[in-house]
Amino acid sequence: MVKMNLGGRIALVAGASRGVGRGVALGLGEAGAVVYVAGRTRAPEEASEGLPGTIEETARMIDDLGGRGLAVQCDFRDDAAVHSLFDRVSAEQGGLDLLVNCVWGGYEGMVEADGRYTWEAPFWEQPMWRWDAMFEAGLRAAYSAGRLAARLMTARRSGLIVNMSYWAARKYMGNTAYGVSKAATDRLTSDMASEIRPYGVAVVSLYPGLVRTERVMRAVEFGAPLDLDQSESPQFIGRAVAALAADPRIMERTGRFLVAAELAVEYDFTDVDGNRPRALSLESA
């Protein structure tokens, strides 16, 4: 596996208590980056739906991998808290090299209080809170963090912003609100990239495959028919981000959507188990 070296780079991962966000933080940590681990969950009792994972745990895991983890509690729906986070990064580090937006909402409560499974219900039967969660907790968070990161990056005329997206942006995958929000994420990426390109800052969308997050593994435990044969660990996504951050030609990719498993072939890295998952396509997703 190619060794990515991000020693001296300053990264901020939004939504890093668990899931893909934690995996991204760990992938950057093993590459030697200083990683601000930002999220809401500082203690286990604060976790969404009782899922394991806290920002403090993620930061300790980064330290164990050879990077430096700094846990910062932040609710990305709170503008004052987000400003405070970026002010801290600027004061402590003098700038920012990498922002990864992994905050998302709308996955919670797929089974309603009355026992109905509503995730794949038609849009006219969907609860409005799910739309609001995806756009408020997810898309708005990426926009809010992105604009503050851009102010730091344009001052130094370098940097990378990664917005986590998915194939639902390009094909129907069972939930209208999800597809619209991911398509909006990709449009956010392309428009951000157009405006910030002259300052030497790149913006990309990154598509994972089926990731073995805490939520996915709980679903499998309860009988969800998910085939994990070609699934990816969260840290695999982090290795994809680390490879992009280490690429001196990253500006050639700005504004594009990229597939983590395709990057593994191009940059010659594997998952934590030594395997290289097969990349999804528009047809197979």
Confidence of residue 52 (pLDDT cuts 50, 70, 90): confident
From 104, 143, 85, select the one nearest 17 (Cα to Cα).
104
Environment class of 247 (CB within 10 Å of its CB; exposed 0-12, middle 13-18, buried 19+): middle
| Token pair of 94 as six digits | 């003098």
Question: Would residue 214 count as lying in a domain?
Answer: yes
pLDDT score recorded for residue 125: 92
Distance (Å) of CA 229 to CA 95, 163, 226, 261, 265: 40, 26, 9, 14, 18
Type of residue at 222: F
Q: Give residue 128's domain range.
A: 10-267
Give residue-wise pLDDT tens across range 204-233: 999 999 999 888 888 777 777 778 888 999
Average pLDDT of every residue of the chain: 92
Residue 237 to residue 40: CA distance in whole angstroms: 21
From 32, 21, 19, select the one nearest 62 (Cα to Cα).
32
Q: How many domains does the chain have?
A: 1
Question: Would residue 136 count as lying in a domain?
Answer: yes
Lowest-pLDDT range of 83-97, 111-125, 205-219: 111-125
| Token pair of 148 as six digits | 């503050």
pTM above 0.85, yes or no: yes
Residue 276: partners with Cβ closer than 8 Å, 6 or more residues away = 261, 264, 265, 270
Confidence of residue 107 (pLDDT cuts 50, 70, 90): confident
Give residue-wise pLDDT tens across range 164-202: 999 999 999 999 999 999 999 999 999 999 999 999 999
Question: Would residue 225 count as lying in a domain?
Answer: yes
Question: Would residue 253 count as lying in a domain?
Answer: yes
Lowest-pLDDT range of 29-38, 42-51, 65-74, 275-284: 42-51
Helices 79-93 + 140-156 axis angle, to 10 = 30
Catalytic-role residue among 36, 107, 178, 207: 178
Reply yes or no on whether the pLDDT at 1 is more than 60.
no
Question: Would residue 285 count as lying in a domain?
Answer: no
As a whole number, mean pLDDT of residues 250-278 equals 96
pLDDT score recorded for residue 2: 59
Q: Is 178 a catalytic residue?
A: yes
Q: Residue 63 has what DSSP assignment?
A: H
Reply yes or no on whether the pLDDT at 236 is more than 70.
yes
Q: Where are the alpha helices (DSSP H) in 14-54?
A: 19-30
Give residue-wise pLDDT tens across range 253-262: 999 999 999 9
Q: Where are the alpha helices (DSSP H) in the chain?
A: 19-30, 55-65, 79-93, 128-133, 140-156, 176-196, 214-221, 234-246, 260-267
Residue 68 · residue 35 · CB < 8 Å: yes
Query: pLDDT over 70 for what percent of the chain?
Result: 94
The length of the chain, given as a count of residues: 285
Distance (Å) of CA 158 to CA 4, 92, 147, 150: 18, 18, 14, 10
The domain that holds 250 is classified in CATH as: 3.40.50.720
From 187, 165, 153, select the one nearest 12 (Cα to Cα).
153
Residue showing tokens 């809010």: 144
pLDDT score recorded for residue 35: 98
Residue 152 · residue 166 · CB < 8 Å: no
Question: Would residue 168 count as lying in a domain?
Answer: yes
Question: Would residue 276 count as lying in a domain?
Answer: no
| Token pair of 208 as six digits | 């994972």
pLDDT score recorded for residue 183: 98
Please tell me which residue, 206 or 115, carries the higher pLDDT value: 206
Residue 206 to residue 164: CA distance in whole angstroms: 5
Distance (Å) of CA 2 to CA 111, 167, 243, 271: 42, 27, 9, 12
Q: Give the Cβ contact number of residue 192 at 10 Å.
A: 23
Give residue-wise pLDDT tens across range 55-86: 999 999 999 999 999 999 999 999 999 999 99
Question: Would residue 280 count as lying in a domain?
Answer: no
